[in-house]
Amino acid sequence: MDNELRFGTRAVHAGVEPDPTTGAIMTPIYQTSTYVQAAPGDHKGYEYSRTQNPTRTALQNSLAALENGRHGLCFSSGMAAIDTLLKTLKPGDHVVSTNDLYGGTYRLFTKVFATYGITFTFTDMSDPAKVAALITPDTRLIWAETPTNPLLNIIDIAGLAALAREHGCLLGVDNTFATPYLQNPLDLGADLVMHSVTKYLGGHSDVVMGALVVNDDGLAERLAFLQNSAGAVPGPMDCFLVLRGIKTLHVRMQRHCENGAEVAAFLSEHPGVDRVYWPGLESHAGHAVAAAQMRDFGGMVSFTLKGDRMEDALRVLSSTRMFSLAESLGGVESLIGHPASMTHASIPREERIANGLADTLIRLSVGLEDVADLLSDLDQAIGNRS
């Protein structure tokens, strides 16, 4: 599909062709493990579904088109996508990453790949000078995430891309929070984009999946080799669900951003709230960079309560009626979470607080409900405790 077409048109059409045998407008769920050959090696491009499946091919092409990339690869989870990428490295190689990395990625780096002799260093990536200072002749990969979880810190992708080029290493960006609707890292000079498709791309909290998108043909070939060798691929039913989710990505994201803006503004004025973290607020430290590299500011909003009592936060979490208490994000329904006791509970309290993760920090994935209902729900849950 022509990448000159605008985003919404690509979301609806890219990668998807009417089924050649029946004309079905929706890509069929090719629920098959294998494909009949007329003679050994004489086939229609498909041999075995770990290697290739037509439903997955359509999704991979759709994702590549949305990220303005040449090659898309899908995996059975976001973590499987990062796992496959790290298998392009070898013992002795070094990776620089951000110190507020997604917890699962941090675990994969430090508890799995570190045991195979790959080394990792973490820093505050909102300052490119700190990243530059950590690069060694062994550095092969800079791994960034922006906005980050849960403080929505912003990292300058173009700045890191220049650094990566200068030092001959790759830049990979976890674009899960922004989605291709808001931000295209490849256009900003990154070599790889990764998604937890589980979140906004699927968008309906019914699939776990991951993806990588790259431009370089050699890198794509190596990743496809690893994808087939290790085999962490999604099934065709899940690929179908995500293809369906992507058709409304632009409409959903527009509303996530509008509702996010209203929730952030409401919380900023609320007497029970101390700080609000949303990159669209001018008070946010990363606002200028976010305004330059993103098209809007997304539906993830974090905030702290006045005072420092964890019980206050726990009471808010159990008082919301519209926001469900759950891990994950990016679905049509609003979710609420508490990093200190959920996603970041394994980090010692002092370290957590030093990194800005207060006991009263609450993270919202603002969904697509009518925003007035979301605001009144937050208002009754927070109460008036100034």
Ligand X SMILES: *Cc1c(COP(=O)(O)O)cnc(C)c1O
Among 79, 201, 239, 253, interactor with ligand X by CB under 6 A: 79
If one asks whether residue 365 binds ligand X (CB under 6 A), the answer comes out as: no
Residue among 11 and 208 whose Cβ is closer to ligand X: 208
Binding mask 86-125 for ligand X (x = CB under 6 A): ----------------x-xx--------------------
Cα–Cα distance between 243 and 202 in angstroms, integer?
8
> By CB under 6 A, which span of 65-73, 128-136, 173-181, 360-368 interacts with ligand X?
173-181
Residue among 99 and 268 whose Cβ is closer to ligand X: 99
Show the tokens assigned to 274: 């101390």
> By CB under 6 A, which span of 9-17, 36-44, 169-177, 286-294 interacts with ligand X?
169-177
Show the tokens assigned to 76: 């059975």
CB of 175 to ligand X, least distance (A): 9
Strands 362-365 and 170-174: unpaired
Q: Would residue 10 show up in a list of annotated catalytic residues for this protein?
A: no
> By CB under 6 A, which span of 58-66, 174-182, 290-298, 308-316 interacts with ligand X?
174-182
Residue among 199 and 275 whose Cβ is closer to ligand X: 199
Show the tokens assigned to 99: 């110190």
Cα–Cα distance between 63 and 113 in angstroms, integer?
27
Among 73, 192, 208, 253, interactor with ligand X by CB under 6 A: 208
Q: Would residue 44 show up in a list of annotated catalytic residues for this protein?
A: no
Show the tokens assigned to 43: 């086939």
Among 98, 176, 334, 343, interactor with ligand X by CB under 6 A: 176
CB of 177 to ligand X, least distance (A): 6
Show the tokens assigned to 250: 């632009």
Q: Would residue 174 show up in a list of annotated catalytic residues for this protein?
A: yes
User: Is-contact 298 260, C-beta < 8 A?
Assistant: yes
Show the tokens assigned to 339: 């990093």
> By CB under 6 A, which span of 32-40, 45-53, 75-83, 160-168 interacts with ligand X?
75-83
Among 150, 180, 203, 210, interactor with ligand X by CB under 6 A: 210
Please, what's the largest Cα pairwise distance for the chain? 77
Q: Would residue 199 show up in a list of annotated catalytic residues for this protein?
A: yes
Show the tokens assigned to 190: 């990154």
Q: What share of the chain is helix, strand, coil (3-state, %, to 5)?
A: 40, 15, 45
Residue among 69 and 210 whose Cβ is closer to ligand X: 210
Cα–Cα distance between 142 and 124 in angstroms, integer?
13
If one asks whether residue 363 binds ligand X (CB under 6 A), the answer comes out as: no
CB of 56 to ligand X, least distance (A): 16
Report, in angstroms and rounded to the nearest whole number, the Rg of the chain calculated over CA atoms. 21
CB of 103 to ligand X, least distance (A): 9
Residues 6+ apart with CB under 8 A from 244: 26
Half-sphere CA count of 132, side-chain side, radius 13 A: 10
User: Is-contact 223 352, C-beta < 8 A?
Assistant: no
Q: Which residue is associated with the tokens 């530059």?
A: 132
CB of 174 to ligand X, least distance (A): 5
Cα–Cα distance between 236 and 29 in angstroms, integer?
6
If one asks whether residue 297 binds ligand X (CB under 6 A), the answer comes out as: no
Cα dist. 239→57, 99, 211, 236 in Å? Answer: 9, 32, 11, 5
Residue among 188 and 232 whose Cβ is closer to ligand X: 232
> Which of 83, 93, 181, 199 is labelled catalytic?
199
Alpha-carbon dihedral sign for residues 139, 145, 151, 154: positive
How many residues line the site for ligand X (CB under 6 A)?
A: 16
| Element holding 193 (H helix, E strand) | strand 192-196
> Which of 30, 102, 181, 277 is labelled catalytic?
102
Residue among 201 and 273 whose Cβ is closer to ligand X: 201
CB of 101 to ligand X, least distance (A): 8
> Which of 19, 35, 46, 50 is labelled catalytic?
50
If one asks whether residue 174 binds ligand X (CB under 6 A), the answer comes out as: yes
For the annotated catalytic residues, the residue numbers are: 50, 102, 174, 199
Q: Which spans of this chain sit near ligand X (rule: CB under 6 A)?
A: 77-79, 102, 104-105, 145, 149, 174, 176-177, 196, 198-199, 208, 210
